[in-house]
Structure 1
Amino acid sequence: MTTATRSSYYSSGEHPHPEYELERLRAQALVFWPKELRHLQQLGLRPDMDVLDAGCGPGFITEALLESLPQGTVTGLELDAGLLAEARGRLAPEEGGRLKLLQGSITEAPLPDAGFDLALARLVLQHIAEPAQALTELGRLLRPGGRLVVADADDALWGSIHPGIPGLADVMELRRRHQSQRGGNRHVGRAVPAMMRAAGFTGITVEAVAVTSDELGMDALAGQLDVRARTALMVKEGVISEEQVERTQEEVEQFLADPASSFMLLMFLYSGVKQGGERR
Protein backbone atom coordinates (compact mmCIF):
# COMPACT_ATOMS: atom_id res chain seq x y z
CA MET A 1 0.00 0.00 0.00
CA THR A 2 1.03 3.62 -0.14
CA THR A 3 2.39 5.14 3.05
CA ALA A 4 5.35 7.42 2.47
CA THR A 5 5.93 10.86 1.02
CA ARG A 6 7.15 8.94 -2.00
CA SER A 7 5.76 5.52 -2.83
CA SER A 8 6.37 3.05 -5.63
CA TYR A 9 2.75 1.94 -5.42
CA TYR A 10 0.22 3.32 -7.91
CA SER A 11 -1.09 6.76 -7.14
CA SER A 12 -4.79 7.47 -7.65
CA GLY A 13 -5.76 7.24 -11.30
CA GLU A 14 -2.40 5.83 -12.35
CA HIS A 15 -3.21 2.14 -12.72
CA PRO A 16 -4.58 1.47 -16.24
CA HIS A 17 -6.95 -1.17 -14.82
CA PRO A 18 -7.95 0.02 -11.32
CA GLU A 19 -10.85 -2.42 -11.06
CA TYR A 20 -8.43 -5.32 -11.58
CA GLU A 21 -6.01 -3.97 -8.99
CA LEU A 22 -8.72 -3.61 -6.35
CA GLU A 23 -9.86 -7.17 -6.98
CA ARG A 24 -6.26 -8.42 -6.83
CA LEU A 25 -5.76 -6.73 -3.46
CA ARG A 26 -9.03 -8.16 -2.16
CA ALA A 27 -8.13 -11.68 -3.30
CA GLN A 28 -4.63 -11.37 -1.87
CA ALA A 29 -6.02 -10.30 1.50
CA LEU A 30 -8.56 -13.13 1.58
CA VAL A 31 -6.14 -15.94 0.74
CA PHE A 32 -3.50 -14.95 3.29
CA TRP A 33 -5.67 -13.61 6.13
CA PRO A 34 -6.77 -16.85 7.90
CA LYS A 35 -3.14 -17.91 8.35
CA GLU A 36 -1.98 -14.35 9.07
CA LEU A 37 -4.58 -14.02 11.80
CA ARG A 38 -3.44 -17.22 13.49
CA HIS A 39 0.14 -15.94 13.49
CA LEU A 40 -0.95 -12.56 14.86
CA GLN A 41 -2.85 -14.26 17.65
CA GLN A 42 0.21 -16.37 18.48
CA LEU A 43 2.17 -13.11 18.65
CA GLY A 44 -0.26 -11.77 21.23
CA LEU A 45 -3.12 -10.16 19.31
CA ARG A 46 -6.11 -9.95 21.66
CA PRO A 47 -9.74 -9.02 20.99
CA ASP A 48 -9.48 -5.83 23.11
CA MET A 49 -6.37 -4.26 21.58
CA ASP A 50 -5.93 -0.90 19.89
CA VAL A 51 -4.41 -1.76 16.50
CA LEU A 52 -2.92 0.39 13.75
CA ASP A 53 -3.22 -0.78 10.13
CA ALA A 54 -0.34 1.24 8.69
CA GLY A 55 -0.79 1.71 4.96
CA CYS A 56 -4.31 0.31 4.95
CA GLY A 57 -5.00 0.90 1.25
CA PRO A 58 -8.62 0.11 0.35
CA GLY A 59 -9.22 -1.37 3.79
CA PHE A 60 -9.60 -5.10 3.18
CA ILE A 61 -7.26 -6.01 6.05
CA THR A 62 -8.64 -3.14 8.13
CA GLU A 63 -12.08 -4.70 7.88
CA ALA A 64 -10.72 -8.14 8.77
CA LEU A 65 -8.93 -6.72 11.80
CA LEU A 66 -12.09 -4.97 12.97
CA GLU A 67 -14.00 -8.25 12.80
CA SER A 68 -11.22 -9.98 14.77
CA LEU A 69 -11.15 -7.35 17.56
CA PRO A 70 -14.73 -7.21 18.91
CA GLN A 71 -13.68 -5.22 22.00
CA GLY A 72 -10.80 -3.36 20.40
CA THR A 73 -10.25 -0.47 18.00
CA VAL A 74 -8.65 -0.25 14.56
CA THR A 75 -7.07 2.81 12.98
CA GLY A 76 -6.37 2.70 9.27
CA LEU A 77 -3.66 5.09 8.05
CA GLU A 78 -3.27 5.64 4.29
CA LEU A 79 -1.43 8.28 2.29
CA ASP A 80 -3.31 7.96 -0.99
CA ALA A 81 -6.64 9.80 -0.99
CA GLY A 82 -8.15 7.51 -3.62
CA LEU A 83 -7.40 4.32 -1.73
CA LEU A 84 -8.64 5.88 1.49
CA ALA A 85 -11.88 6.82 -0.27
CA GLU A 86 -12.31 3.18 -1.29
CA ALA A 87 -11.90 2.12 2.33
CA ARG A 88 -14.35 4.75 3.55
CA GLY A 89 -16.88 3.79 0.91
CA ARG A 90 -16.96 0.21 2.14
CA LEU A 91 -16.46 0.78 5.87
CA ALA A 92 -18.51 3.95 6.37
CA PRO A 93 -21.02 2.29 8.76
CA GLU A 94 -18.16 1.36 11.10
CA GLU A 95 -16.24 4.64 11.07
CA GLY A 96 -16.58 6.81 14.13
CA GLY A 97 -17.06 3.92 16.52
CA ARG A 98 -14.30 1.37 16.90
CA LEU A 99 -12.85 2.36 13.53
CA LYS A 100 -10.90 5.44 12.55
CA LEU A 101 -9.61 6.10 9.02
CA LEU A 102 -7.24 8.94 8.30
CA GLN A 103 -4.88 10.17 5.63
CA GLY A 104 -1.18 10.33 6.37
CA SER A 105 2.25 8.77 6.01
CA ILE A 106 3.80 6.21 8.33
CA THR A 107 7.08 8.07 8.06
CA GLU A 108 5.41 11.09 9.71
CA ALA A 109 2.05 9.96 11.05
CA PRO A 110 -0.58 12.45 12.25
CA LEU A 111 -1.06 10.45 15.43
CA PRO A 112 0.01 10.92 19.07
CA ASP A 113 2.74 8.94 20.80
CA ALA A 114 2.08 5.54 22.36
CA GLY A 115 -1.49 5.05 21.20
CA PHE A 116 -1.43 1.44 20.01
CA ASP A 117 -0.84 -2.06 21.35
CA LEU A 118 0.01 -3.48 17.92
CA ALA A 119 0.93 -1.97 14.56
CA LEU A 120 0.67 -3.95 11.32
CA ALA A 121 2.52 -2.77 8.21
CA ARG A 122 1.36 -5.17 5.52
CA LEU A 123 3.07 -5.15 2.10
CA VAL A 124 4.05 -1.54 2.72
CA LEU A 125 7.81 -1.32 3.26
CA GLN A 126 8.57 -2.67 -0.22
CA HIS A 127 6.90 0.43 -1.64
CA ILE A 128 8.63 3.22 0.27
CA ALA A 129 12.02 4.83 -0.03
CA GLU A 130 12.45 5.34 3.75
CA PRO A 131 11.56 2.00 5.40
CA ALA A 132 13.92 2.53 8.34
CA GLN A 133 12.27 5.88 9.08
CA ALA A 134 8.87 4.20 8.91
CA LEU A 135 9.90 1.59 11.49
CA THR A 136 11.15 4.29 13.84
CA GLU A 137 7.88 6.17 13.47
CA LEU A 138 5.84 3.04 14.12
CA GLY A 139 7.86 2.55 17.29
CA ARG A 140 6.81 6.05 18.39
CA LEU A 141 3.16 5.13 17.90
CA LEU A 142 3.33 1.96 19.99
CA ARG A 143 2.88 1.76 23.73
CA PRO A 144 5.81 0.39 25.75
CA GLY A 145 5.75 -3.37 25.29
CA GLY A 146 3.66 -2.99 22.13
CA ARG A 147 4.31 -5.16 19.11
CA LEU A 148 5.16 -4.28 15.52
CA VAL A 149 4.37 -6.81 12.79
CA VAL A 150 5.72 -6.23 9.29
CA ALA A 151 4.17 -8.48 6.66
CA ASP A 152 6.16 -8.29 3.47
CA ALA A 153 7.84 -10.22 0.68
CA ASP A 154 11.24 -10.75 -0.84
CA ASP A 155 11.33 -11.59 -4.53
CA ALA A 156 14.22 -14.00 -3.98
CA LEU A 157 11.77 -16.14 -1.95
CA TRP A 158 8.42 -15.20 -3.41
CA GLY A 159 7.00 -18.70 -3.93
CA SER A 160 7.03 -21.43 -6.56
CA ILE A 161 5.39 -22.43 -9.83
CA HIS A 162 5.25 -25.97 -11.26
CA PRO A 163 5.64 -26.57 -14.09
CA GLY A 164 7.63 -23.39 -14.70
CA ILE A 165 6.41 -20.48 -16.83
CA PRO A 166 9.43 -19.73 -19.07
CA GLY A 167 8.99 -15.97 -19.52
CA LEU A 168 7.80 -15.10 -16.03
CA ALA A 169 11.23 -14.68 -14.41
CA ASP A 170 12.20 -12.00 -16.96
CA VAL A 171 8.93 -10.14 -16.41
CA MET A 172 9.38 -10.27 -12.63
CA GLU A 173 12.91 -8.90 -12.90
CA LEU A 174 11.69 -6.00 -15.05
CA ARG A 175 8.95 -5.37 -12.48
CA ARG A 176 11.52 -5.37 -9.68
CA ARG A 177 13.66 -2.81 -11.53
CA HIS A 178 10.62 -0.67 -12.33
CA GLN A 179 9.58 -0.62 -8.68
CA SER A 180 13.13 0.26 -7.65
CA GLN A 181 13.15 3.20 -10.07
CA ARG A 182 9.93 4.42 -8.41
CA GLY A 183 11.52 4.29 -4.95
CA GLY A 184 10.53 0.80 -3.82
CA ASN A 185 12.44 -2.39 -3.08
CA ARG A 186 11.05 -5.86 -3.78
CA HIS A 187 13.96 -7.35 -1.82
CA VAL A 188 13.17 -5.39 1.34
CA GLY A 189 12.24 -8.47 3.33
CA ARG A 190 15.82 -9.54 3.95
CA ALA A 191 16.63 -6.14 5.49
CA VAL A 192 13.65 -5.86 7.82
CA PRO A 193 15.07 -7.62 10.94
CA ALA A 194 18.20 -5.45 10.97
CA MET A 195 16.13 -2.30 10.48
CA MET A 196 13.83 -3.33 13.31
CA ARG A 197 16.79 -3.83 15.65
CA ALA A 198 18.19 -0.44 14.64
CA ALA A 199 14.79 1.12 15.42
CA GLY A 200 14.97 -0.26 18.96
CA PHE A 201 12.73 -3.32 18.72
CA THR A 202 13.63 -6.48 20.63
CA GLY A 203 12.55 -10.13 20.57
CA ILE A 204 12.53 -10.14 16.78
CA THR A 205 10.96 -13.17 15.11
CA VAL A 206 10.30 -14.21 11.52
CA GLU A 207 7.52 -16.52 10.31
CA ALA A 208 6.74 -17.65 6.77
CA VAL A 209 3.14 -17.74 5.58
CA ALA A 210 2.47 -19.85 2.49
CA VAL A 211 -0.71 -20.20 0.44
CA THR A 212 -1.01 -22.71 -2.38
CA SER A 213 -3.35 -23.58 -5.22
CA ASP A 214 -3.34 -27.15 -3.93
CA GLU A 215 -5.19 -26.14 -0.75
CA LEU A 216 -7.22 -23.16 -2.02
CA GLY A 217 -7.75 -23.93 -5.70
CA MET A 218 -6.05 -22.20 -8.60
CA ASP A 219 -8.86 -19.66 -9.02
CA ALA A 220 -8.00 -18.15 -5.62
CA LEU A 221 -4.48 -17.27 -6.77
CA ALA A 222 -4.81 -16.87 -10.54
CA GLY A 223 -5.25 -13.08 -10.41
CA GLN A 224 -1.73 -12.70 -9.02
CA LEU A 225 -0.45 -14.11 -12.35
CA ASP A 226 -2.34 -11.71 -14.63
CA VAL A 227 0.75 -10.44 -16.44
CA ARG A 228 -1.23 -8.23 -18.80
CA ALA A 229 -2.88 -6.27 -16.01
CA ARG A 230 0.10 -6.19 -13.65
CA THR A 231 2.46 -4.80 -16.31
CA ALA A 232 0.06 -2.32 -17.95
CA LEU A 233 1.83 0.71 -16.45
CA MET A 234 5.21 -0.76 -17.40
CA VAL A 235 4.03 -1.06 -21.01
CA LYS A 236 2.74 2.50 -20.94
CA GLU A 237 6.11 3.74 -19.66
CA GLY A 238 8.12 1.67 -22.14
CA VAL A 239 9.67 -0.62 -19.52
CA ILE A 240 8.42 -3.78 -21.24
CA SER A 241 7.08 -4.46 -24.72
CA GLU A 242 3.54 -5.53 -25.45
CA GLU A 243 4.97 -8.49 -27.37
CA GLN A 244 6.81 -9.78 -24.30
CA VAL A 245 3.74 -9.30 -22.14
CA GLU A 246 1.45 -11.14 -24.56
CA ARG A 247 3.94 -13.98 -25.00
CA THR A 248 4.22 -14.44 -21.24
CA GLN A 249 0.46 -14.09 -20.74
CA GLU A 250 -0.06 -16.96 -23.18
CA GLU A 251 2.36 -19.07 -21.15
CA VAL A 252 0.45 -18.17 -17.98
CA GLU A 253 -2.85 -19.19 -19.54
CA GLN A 254 -1.37 -22.53 -20.60
CA PHE A 255 -0.16 -23.01 -17.03
CA LEU A 256 -3.57 -22.18 -15.56
CA ALA A 257 -5.29 -24.59 -17.96
CA ASP A 258 -3.10 -27.51 -16.89
CA PRO A 259 -4.81 -29.43 -14.05
CA ALA A 260 -1.40 -30.64 -12.86
CA SER A 261 -0.14 -27.07 -12.26
CA SER A 262 0.75 -25.91 -8.74
CA PHE A 263 1.29 -22.34 -7.51
CA MET A 264 2.55 -21.21 -4.09
CA LEU A 265 2.92 -17.67 -2.74
CA LEU A 266 5.05 -16.76 0.28
CA MET A 267 4.89 -13.82 2.65
CA PHE A 268 6.95 -13.23 5.78
CA LEU A 269 5.84 -11.85 9.14
CA TYR A 270 8.60 -9.96 10.96
CA SER A 271 7.78 -9.12 14.56
CA GLY A 272 9.41 -7.13 17.34
CA VAL A 273 8.52 -5.57 20.69
CA LYS A 274 8.96 -1.95 21.71
CA GLN A 275 11.13 -1.61 24.79
CA GLY A 276 10.03 0.19 27.90
CA GLY A 277 7.61 -1.97 29.83
CA GLU A 278 4.88 -4.56 29.65
CA ARG A 279 2.00 -4.31 27.27
CA ARG A 280 -1.28 -3.48 28.99
Structure 2
Amino acid sequence: MNARNSAYNFQNVTNGTEAELLRLQEQALMGWDKEYRTLKQFGLEDGMKVLEVGAGPGFVTGQLLDHLPHSEITALDIDDALLEEAKHRLRHIPESRIKFTHASAYETGLPDHYYDFVVARLIFLHLHNPLQAAAEIRRVLKPGGKLVIIDIDDGVFGAIEPEIEVIPSIIKKLVQQQASRGGNRNIGRSLPRLLSSSGYTDIDMDAIIQHSDLHGLAGFKRQFDINRFTGFLNKGIITENEYDELKQSYENFDRSPDAHAMMLFFMACGTKPL
Protein backbone atom coordinates (compact mmCIF):
# COMPACT_ATOMS: atom_id res chain seq x y z
CA MET A 1 0.00 0.00 0.00
CA ASN A 2 1.20 3.56 -0.56
CA ALA A 3 1.29 6.35 2.00
CA ARG A 4 -2.22 7.50 1.14
CA ASN A 5 -3.75 4.12 1.84
CA SER A 6 -1.39 2.57 4.36
CA ALA A 7 0.84 3.35 7.32
CA TYR A 8 3.71 1.33 5.79
CA ASN A 9 6.07 2.59 3.08
CA PHE A 10 8.88 0.27 2.05
CA GLN A 11 10.91 3.02 0.41
CA ASN A 12 11.02 5.07 3.64
CA VAL A 13 12.19 2.40 6.11
CA THR A 14 14.97 3.71 8.32
CA ASN A 15 16.96 0.47 8.46
CA GLY A 16 17.50 0.46 4.67
CA THR A 17 15.68 -1.59 2.06
CA GLU A 18 18.17 -4.50 2.04
CA ALA A 19 17.97 -4.91 5.82
CA GLU A 20 14.19 -4.54 5.64
CA LEU A 21 13.95 -7.34 3.06
CA LEU A 22 15.96 -9.62 5.35
CA ARG A 23 13.69 -8.67 8.26
CA LEU A 24 10.58 -9.39 6.21
CA GLN A 25 12.02 -12.73 5.13
CA GLU A 26 12.72 -13.78 8.72
CA GLN A 27 9.30 -12.52 9.78
CA ALA A 28 7.57 -14.52 7.04
CA LEU A 29 9.43 -17.79 7.39
CA MET A 30 10.04 -18.18 11.14
CA GLY A 31 6.57 -19.42 11.95
CA TRP A 32 5.44 -20.49 8.52
CA ASP A 33 4.99 -24.19 9.39
CA LYS A 34 2.56 -23.29 12.17
CA GLU A 35 0.77 -20.70 10.04
CA TYR A 36 0.36 -23.17 7.20
CA ARG A 37 -0.93 -25.81 9.60
CA THR A 38 -3.57 -23.36 10.80
CA LEU A 39 -4.43 -22.28 7.25
CA LYS A 40 -5.17 -25.93 6.46
CA GLN A 41 -7.33 -26.18 9.57
CA PHE A 42 -9.26 -23.16 8.31
CA GLY A 43 -9.84 -24.93 4.99
CA LEU A 44 -6.93 -24.19 2.65
CA GLU A 45 -6.50 -27.04 0.15
CA ASP A 46 -4.32 -27.73 -2.86
CA GLY A 47 -6.08 -26.94 -6.12
CA MET A 48 -7.82 -23.84 -4.79
CA LYS A 49 -7.59 -20.43 -6.41
CA VAL A 50 -5.71 -18.43 -3.77
CA LEU A 51 -5.24 -14.67 -3.46
CA GLU A 52 -2.51 -13.21 -1.27
CA VAL A 53 -3.27 -9.59 -0.40
CA GLY A 54 -0.22 -7.52 0.49
CA ALA A 55 2.16 -10.12 -0.92
CA GLY A 56 5.15 -7.78 -0.67
CA PRO A 57 8.45 -9.33 -1.81
CA GLY A 58 6.88 -12.76 -2.21
CA PHE A 59 8.32 -14.75 0.69
CA VAL A 60 4.95 -16.17 1.73
CA THR A 61 3.92 -16.42 -1.93
CA GLY A 62 6.81 -18.80 -2.51
CA GLN A 63 5.70 -20.95 0.39
CA LEU A 64 2.14 -21.10 -0.92
CA LEU A 65 3.43 -22.16 -4.33
CA ASP A 66 5.57 -24.90 -2.79
CA HIS A 67 2.80 -26.26 -0.59
CA LEU A 68 -0.02 -25.93 -3.14
CA PRO A 69 1.46 -27.32 -6.38
CA HIS A 70 -1.93 -27.52 -8.14
CA SER A 71 -3.21 -24.12 -7.07
CA GLU A 72 -3.33 -20.86 -8.97
CA ILE A 73 -1.83 -18.10 -6.78
CA THR A 74 -2.41 -14.36 -7.26
CA ALA A 75 0.05 -12.07 -5.48
CA LEU A 76 -1.38 -8.56 -5.00
CA ASP A 77 0.47 -5.50 -3.76
CA ILE A 78 0.35 -1.77 -4.46
CA ASP A 79 4.09 -1.24 -3.94
CA ASP A 80 5.92 -1.50 -7.29
CA ALA A 81 9.33 -2.11 -5.71
CA LEU A 82 8.09 -4.98 -3.56
CA LEU A 83 6.12 -6.51 -6.42
CA GLU A 84 9.22 -6.41 -8.65
CA GLU A 85 11.15 -8.19 -5.89
CA ALA A 86 8.48 -10.87 -5.84
CA LYS A 87 8.49 -11.23 -9.64
CA HIS A 88 12.27 -11.61 -9.66
CA ARG A 89 12.29 -14.09 -6.77
CA LEU A 90 9.57 -16.23 -8.37
CA ARG A 91 10.63 -15.85 -12.00
CA HIS A 92 11.10 -19.62 -12.30
CA ILE A 93 7.38 -20.25 -11.64
CA PRO A 94 5.22 -20.74 -14.77
CA GLU A 95 2.71 -17.98 -15.50
CA SER A 96 -0.06 -20.58 -15.33
CA ARG A 97 0.58 -20.90 -11.57
CA ILE A 98 1.35 -17.33 -10.47
CA LYS A 99 -0.20 -14.00 -11.35
CA PHE A 100 1.02 -10.63 -10.08
CA THR A 101 -1.48 -7.82 -9.57
CA HIS A 102 -0.44 -4.23 -8.93
CA ALA A 103 -3.47 -2.88 -7.09
CA SER A 104 -4.84 -1.59 -3.80
CA ALA A 105 -6.58 -3.83 -1.27
CA TYR A 106 -9.45 -1.34 -1.46
CA GLU A 107 -9.86 -1.70 -5.26
CA THR A 108 -8.27 -4.90 -6.48
CA GLY A 109 -9.73 -4.83 -9.99
CA LEU A 110 -10.15 -8.61 -9.72
CA PRO A 111 -13.29 -10.46 -10.86
CA ASP A 112 -16.30 -11.13 -8.64
CA HIS A 113 -16.68 -14.54 -6.94
CA TYR A 114 -13.37 -15.92 -8.26
CA TYR A 115 -11.17 -17.01 -5.34
CA ASP A 116 -11.60 -19.93 -2.95
CA PHE A 117 -9.24 -18.60 -0.30
CA VAL A 118 -7.59 -15.27 0.55
CA VAL A 119 -4.58 -14.76 2.82
CA ALA A 120 -3.90 -11.25 4.16
CA ARG A 121 -0.73 -11.37 6.25
CA LEU A 122 0.44 -8.33 8.23
CA ILE A 123 -1.36 -5.83 6.05
CA PHE A 124 -4.52 -4.96 7.99
CA LEU A 125 -2.56 -3.24 10.78
CA HIS A 126 -1.41 -0.71 8.15
CA LEU A 127 -4.80 0.02 6.54
CA HIS A 128 -6.68 3.29 6.94
CA ASN A 129 -9.99 1.60 6.17
CA PRO A 130 -9.85 -2.12 7.03
CA LEU A 131 -13.62 -2.54 6.64
CA GLN A 132 -13.44 -1.39 3.03
CA ALA A 133 -10.58 -3.80 2.30
CA ALA A 134 -12.40 -6.72 3.93
CA ALA A 135 -15.52 -5.91 1.91
CA GLU A 136 -13.51 -5.79 -1.33
CA ILE A 137 -11.97 -9.16 -0.53
CA ARG A 138 -15.44 -10.57 0.16
CA ARG A 139 -16.50 -9.41 -3.31
CA VAL A 140 -13.76 -11.42 -5.06
CA LEU A 141 -14.33 -14.55 -2.96
CA LYS A 142 -16.61 -17.30 -4.16
CA PRO A 143 -19.65 -17.94 -1.96
CA GLY A 144 -18.31 -20.20 0.78
CA GLY A 145 -14.78 -18.87 0.20
CA LYS A 146 -12.63 -17.84 3.13
CA LEU A 147 -10.51 -14.90 4.20
CA VAL A 148 -7.74 -15.45 6.76
CA ILE A 149 -6.16 -12.36 8.30
CA ILE A 150 -2.80 -12.87 10.02
CA ASP A 151 -1.80 -9.93 12.16
CA ILE A 152 -0.39 -8.57 15.40
CA ASP A 153 -1.57 -6.95 18.60
CA ASP A 154 1.10 -4.92 20.37
CA GLY A 155 -0.88 -5.10 23.61
CA VAL A 156 0.15 -8.76 23.81
CA PHE A 157 3.12 -8.78 21.46
CA GLY A 158 5.16 -11.37 23.36
CA ALA A 159 8.15 -11.43 25.69
CA ILE A 160 11.93 -11.01 25.62
CA GLU A 161 14.70 -12.08 28.00
CA PRO A 162 16.85 -10.38 29.23
CA GLU A 163 13.95 -7.98 29.62
CA ILE A 164 14.12 -4.68 27.73
CA GLU A 165 12.38 -2.45 30.26
CA VAL A 166 11.90 0.47 27.86
CA ILE A 167 10.00 -1.66 25.31
CA PRO A 168 6.46 -1.10 26.75
CA SER A 169 6.77 2.70 26.65
CA ILE A 170 8.23 2.60 23.13
CA ILE A 171 5.51 0.23 21.94
CA LYS A 172 2.87 2.57 23.35
CA LYS A 173 4.35 5.44 21.35
CA LEU A 174 4.55 3.35 18.18
CA VAL A 175 0.91 2.37 18.61
CA GLN A 176 -0.02 6.05 18.89
CA GLN A 177 2.14 6.98 15.91
CA GLN A 178 0.61 4.21 13.79
CA ALA A 179 -2.87 5.40 14.75
CA SER A 180 -2.01 8.97 13.73
CA ARG A 181 -1.09 7.62 10.28
CA GLY A 182 -4.30 5.61 9.99
CA GLY A 183 -3.05 2.19 11.05
CA ASN A 184 -3.72 0.04 14.10
CA ARG A 185 -0.96 -1.97 15.80
CA ASN A 186 -3.58 -3.40 18.20
CA ILE A 187 -5.77 -4.78 15.44
CA GLY A 188 -5.38 -8.41 16.54
CA ARG A 189 -8.04 -8.07 19.23
CA SER A 190 -10.49 -6.59 16.71
CA LEU A 191 -10.24 -9.18 13.94
CA PRO A 192 -13.40 -11.19 14.77
CA ARG A 193 -15.45 -7.99 14.96
CA LEU A 194 -13.87 -6.70 11.75
CA LEU A 195 -14.83 -9.86 9.87
CA SER A 196 -18.35 -9.89 11.29
CA SER A 197 -18.89 -6.20 10.43
CA SER A 198 -17.72 -6.90 6.87
CA GLY A 199 -20.34 -9.60 6.28
CA TYR A 200 -18.36 -12.77 6.99
CA THR A 201 -19.80 -15.72 8.92
CA ASP A 202 -18.45 -18.82 10.71
CA ILE A 203 -15.70 -16.71 12.23
CA ASP A 204 -12.86 -18.44 14.04
CA MET A 205 -9.56 -17.31 15.55
CA ASP A 206 -6.27 -18.81 16.65
CA ALA A 207 -2.83 -17.65 17.82
CA ILE A 208 0.60 -18.56 16.50
CA ILE A 209 3.55 -18.51 18.90
CA GLN A 210 7.05 -17.94 17.56
CA HIS A 211 9.76 -18.75 20.11
CA SER A 212 13.50 -18.32 19.63
CA ASP A 213 14.22 -21.73 21.17
CA LEU A 214 12.16 -23.23 18.35
CA HIS A 215 12.89 -20.87 15.47
CA GLY A 216 16.29 -19.39 16.30
CA LEU A 217 17.27 -15.95 17.54
CA ALA A 218 18.20 -14.37 14.19
CA GLY A 219 14.68 -13.34 13.24
CA PHE A 220 13.99 -11.84 16.65
CA LYS A 221 17.22 -9.86 16.60
CA ARG A 222 16.18 -8.32 13.28
CA GLN A 223 12.86 -7.21 14.77
CA PHE A 224 14.68 -5.35 17.56
CA ASP A 225 17.56 -4.05 15.41
CA ILE A 226 18.36 -0.58 16.74
CA ASN A 227 18.60 0.79 13.19
CA ARG A 228 14.83 0.28 12.84
CA PHE A 229 14.29 2.83 15.64
CA THR A 230 16.64 5.57 14.41
CA GLY A 231 13.89 7.12 12.33
CA PHE A 232 11.56 7.26 15.33
CA LEU A 233 14.29 9.14 17.24
CA ASN A 234 14.88 11.56 14.37
CA LYS A 235 11.14 12.27 14.12
CA GLY A 236 10.82 12.86 17.85
CA ILE A 237 8.53 9.86 18.38
CA ILE A 238 10.89 8.41 20.98
CA THR A 239 13.29 10.35 23.18
CA GLU A 240 17.08 10.20 23.09
CA ASN A 241 17.05 8.58 26.53
CA GLU A 242 14.65 5.89 25.32
CA TYR A 243 16.78 5.30 22.25
CA ASP A 244 19.98 4.99 24.30
CA GLU A 245 18.32 2.66 26.79
CA LEU A 246 16.94 0.53 23.96
CA LYS A 247 20.36 0.40 22.30
CA GLN A 248 22.06 -0.71 25.52
CA SER A 249 19.36 -3.27 26.27
CA TYR A 250 19.56 -4.66 22.75
CA GLU A 251 23.33 -5.01 23.05
CA ASN A 252 22.83 -6.90 26.33
CA PHE A 253 20.24 -9.12 24.64
CA ASP A 254 22.53 -9.71 21.68
CA ARG A 255 25.43 -10.77 23.93
CA SER A 256 23.54 -12.79 26.51
CA PRO A 257 24.00 -16.58 26.28
CA ASP A 258 20.58 -16.96 27.91
CA ALA A 259 18.71 -14.65 25.51
CA HIS A 260 15.35 -15.84 24.27
CA ALA A 261 12.20 -14.25 22.90
CA MET A 262 8.61 -15.00 22.01
CA MET A 263 6.15 -13.26 19.69
CA LEU A 264 2.44 -13.77 19.12
CA PHE A 265 0.59 -13.55 15.82
CA PHE A 266 -3.18 -13.85 15.48
CA MET A 267 -5.09 -15.62 12.71
CA ALA A 268 -8.78 -14.93 12.16
CA CYS A 269 -10.92 -16.65 9.53
CA GLY A 270 -14.26 -15.67 8.07
CA THR A 271 -16.45 -17.24 5.38
CA LYS A 272 -18.35 -15.48 2.62
CA PRO A 273 -21.99 -16.53 3.00
CA LEU A 274 -23.46 -18.87 0.39
SS in 2 for 1:47: coil
CA offsets 1:68-108 (integer angstroms, 9 cap, x no match): 11001110110111111111121122252200011111111
| Percent identity of paired positions between Structure 1 and Structure 2 | 37
For 1:3 and 1:66, how far apart are their aligned partners in 2? 26
TM-score (norm 2): 0.94
Deviation for aligned residue 1:243: 4.7
Instruction: Report 1:65-80 matches (<5 A).
Output: 65-80=64-79
Unpaired segments of 5 or more residues in structure 1?
none
Q: Match of 1:177, as an amino acid? A: Q
Which is further off, 46-55 or 3-12?
3-12
CA offsets 1:161-216 (integer angstroms, 9 cap, x no match): 23321112222222222222221110111111112112111111110000101222
Match of 1:162 in 2: 161
Which is further off, 14-23 or 62-71?
14-23
Report if aligned partners of 1:3, 1:124 keep a CA contact under 8 Å in 2.
no
Match of 1:123 in 2: 122
Report if aligned partners of 1:115, 1:141 keep a CA contact under 8 Å in 2.
yes
Match of 2:259 in 1: 261
Q: Match of 1:173, as an amino acid? A: K
Instruction: Report 1:205-216 matches (<5 A).
Output: 205-216=204-215
Instruction: Report 1:179-194 matches (<5 A).
Output: 179-194=178-193
For 1:121 and 1:100, how far apart are their aligned partners in 2? 16
Instruction: Report 1:57-72 matches (<5 A).
Output: 57-72=56-71
Instruction: Report 1:44-59 matches (<5 A).
Output: 44-59=43-58
Match of 2:250 in 1: 252
Report if aligned partners of 1:12, 1:80 keep a CA contact under 8 Å in 2.
no
Does residue 236 of structure 2 align to residue 238 of structure 1? yes
Which is further off, 177-186 or 3-12?
3-12
Instruction: Report 1:81-120 matches (<5 A).
Output: 81-94=80-93, 96-120=95-119
SS in 2 for 1:40: helix
Q: Match of 2:267, as an amino acid? A: L
CA offsets 1:201-232 (integer angstroms, 9 cap, x no match): 11111100001012222224221111x22223
SS in 1 for 2:148: strand
SS in 2 for 1:231: helix
Q: Match of 1:265, as an amino acid? A: M
For 1:198 and 1:174, how far apart are their aligned partners in 2? 28
SS in 2 for 1:82: helix
SS in 2 for 1:12: helix
Q: Give RMSD over aligned pairs.
A: 1.7
CA offsets 1:141-178 (integer angstroms, 9 cap, x no match): 11011111000011111111233211122222222222
SS in 2 for 1:200: coil
Report if aligned partners of 1:53, 1:120 keep a CA contact under 8 Å in 2.
yes
Report if aligned partners of 1:179, 1:185 keep a CA contact under 8 Å in 2.
yes
Q: How many residues align?
A: 274
SS in 1 for 2:30: helix
For 2:269 and 2:256, how far apart are their aligned partners in 1? 38
For 2:68 and 2:3, how far apart are their aligned partners in 1? 27
SS in 1 for 2:88: helix
For 1:197 and 1:4, how far apart are their aligned partners in 2? 27
For 2:180 and 2:216, how far apart are their aligned partners in 1? 35
Which is further off, 180-189 or 251-260?
251-260
Q: Match of 1:150, as an amino acid? A: I
CA offsets 1:30-85 (integer angstroms, 9 cap, x no match): 10111100111111111111100001111111111111110011101101111111
For 1:108 and 1:208, how far apart are their aligned partners in 2? 29
Report if aligned partners of 1:95, 1:101 keep a CA contact under 8 Å in 2.
no
Runs of 4+ in 1 over 6 A off after TM superposition: none
For 2:94 and 2:108, how far apart are their aligned partners in 1? 19
